[in-house]
């Protein structure tokens, strides 16, 4: 009987030891945590360069414990579909335009209204103010953690049919917009026909005449080769739409609060790198498009365009009108 108990104890003890040893081993040789970030643009594009910088900082600051793998070129899907996957944790991070994000968090429309910012500096002052942080934090109930902002210049119209010099020139043109209700309204307010479509489908849609044009900044006009099939570019600069990096709240909740802090800080610290890369690439894109012989027209004055878009402001909810007023007051 006594011997039986001793044997039983021994068995239990060895089992306990090997269990403890197993655990210790797991901790020592623990694999890095690998997280995925989805990006629409190709590897050389300035937002993707910003993503790589973010990933580099996270890896460095966690001594390699956390690796963020960047998937450029829409490998994980187009923006809207990617945002959905981030929402339910299938993708950990993405860098997107706030336009498609506004379908999930409608308040973001207040940050992409036409002619909202007086200048690029004004936009940065807003994003770096408590308003910017309030927007980043507002995403949590929708299942996202807002991390940081990237530059995206100003968006303007391009098409394959005719130069646009006045609002009347836009009449009846079929213009692709992002998958965003606000952008549909914006194009319709100018008398054109809005066609929402994923970014990756725009080139062939212009080439085959399904649409006449689209709207975007210099870098995207160039990097997508849209400038080859839509030769008229009018610099009306109707919107400045910030880029944003978001994390899946489900993915973040699995990490320690210390690691969450490192990730948030690394994202903020990658902004300066992207903003510089943006300025450099914007110049490269502009030079290349001009060298290609495209017809570029800069609106001498945007008041006609601005007046045509006023109904979009009138249609905003009273709450968003207040946010717009706060944005406009920054730096005044």
Return residues touching ligand BDP (CB under 6 A).
Answer: 40, 47, 79, 96-97, 152, 178, 199, 216-217, 220, 243
Of the candidates 70, 68, 71, 62, the residue with the CA atom closest to the CA atom of residue 30 = 62
| Closest approach of ligand BDP to the CB of residue 22, in Å | 46
d(CA 278, CA 122): 17
| Closest approach of ligand BDP to the CB of residue 193, in Å | 17
Question: Are residues 18 and 238 in contact, defined by beta-carbon separation less than 8 angstroms?
Answer: no
Which parts of the chain fold into alpha helices (H)? 2-28, 46-61, 79-87, 98-101, 120-127, 130-137, 181-189, 202-207, 218-223, 226-229, 249-253, 257-269, 271-291, 303-308, 310-314, 318-329
d(CA 150, CA 134): 16
Q: Which is nearer to ligand BDP, 40 or 87 (CB)?
A: 40
| Closest approach of ligand BDP to the CB of residue 182, in Å | 13
| Closest approach of ligand BDP to the CB of residue 72, in Å | 12
Strands 193-196 and 174-177: parallel
Q: Which is nearer to ligand BDP, 53 or 79 (CB)?
A: 79
| Closest approach of ligand BDP to the CB of residue 38, in Å | 11
Of the candidates 291, 174, 159, 183, the residue with the CA atom closest to the CA atom of residue 233 = 159
| Closest approach of ligand BDP to the CB of residue 155, in Å | 7
The residue assigned the tokens 């360069």 is 49
| Closest approach of ligand BDP to the CB of residue 177, in Å | 8
Which strands make up the sheet holding 33-39, listed edge to edge? 66-71, 33-39, 93-97, 243-248, 144-150
The partner residues of 150 in beta bridges, in order of sequence, read 243
Residue 162 CB neighbour total at 10 angstroms: 13
Q: Which is nearer to ligand BDP, 79 or 255 (CB)?
A: 79
Backbone angles phi, psi at 165, to 5 degrees: -115, -25
Angle between helices 120-127 and 130-137 (to 10 degrees): 60
Q: Which is nearer to ligand BDP, 98 or 323 (CB)?
A: 98
Strands 174-177 and 232-239: unpaired
Q: Which is nearer to ligand BDP, 231 or 242 (CB)?
A: 242
| Closest approach of ligand BDP to the CB of residue 73, in Å | 12
């Amino acid at each position: 009987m006594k011997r039986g108990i001793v044997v039983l104890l021994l068995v239990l003890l060895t089992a306990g030891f090997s269990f403890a040893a197993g655990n210790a081993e797991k901790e020592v040789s623990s694999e890095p945590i690998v997280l995925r970030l989805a990006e629409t643009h190709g590897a050389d594009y300035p937002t993707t360069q910003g993503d790589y910088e973010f990933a580099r900082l996270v890896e460095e600051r966690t001594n390699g414990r956390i690796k963020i793998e960047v998937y450029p070129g829409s490998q994980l899907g187009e923006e809207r579909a990617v945002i959905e996957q981030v929402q339910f944790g299938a993708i950990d991070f993405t860098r997107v335009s706030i336009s498609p994000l506004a379908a999930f968090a409608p308040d973001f429309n207040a940050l992409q209204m036409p002619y909202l910012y007086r200048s690029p500096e004004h936009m940065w002052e807003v994003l770096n103010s408590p308003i910017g942080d309030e927007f980043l934090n507002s995403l949590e109930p929708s299942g996202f953690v807002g991390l940081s902002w990237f530059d995206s210049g100003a968006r303007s119209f391009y098409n394959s049919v005719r130069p646009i010099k006045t609002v009347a020139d836009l009449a009846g043109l079929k213009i692709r917009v992002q998958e965003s209700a606000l952008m549909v309204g914006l194009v319709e307010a100018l008398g054109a026909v809005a066609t929402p479509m994923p970014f990756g489908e725009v080139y062939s849609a212009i080439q085959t005449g399904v649409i006449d044009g689209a709207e975007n900044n210099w870098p995207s006009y160039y990097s997508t080769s849209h400038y080859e099939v839509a030769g008229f570019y009018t610099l009306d600069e109707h919107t400045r739409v910030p880029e944003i990096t978001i994390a899946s709240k489900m993915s973040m909740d699995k990490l320690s609060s210390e690691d969450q802090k490192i990730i948030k800080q690394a994202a903020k610290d990658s902004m300066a790198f992207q903003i510089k890369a943006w300025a450099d690439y914007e110049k490269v894109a502009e030079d290349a498009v001009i060298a290609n012989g495209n017809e570029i027209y800069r609106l001498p004055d945007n008041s006609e365009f601005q007046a045509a878009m006023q109904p979009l402001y009138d249609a905003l909810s009273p709450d968003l009108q207040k946010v717009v007023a706060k944005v406009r007051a920054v730096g005044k």
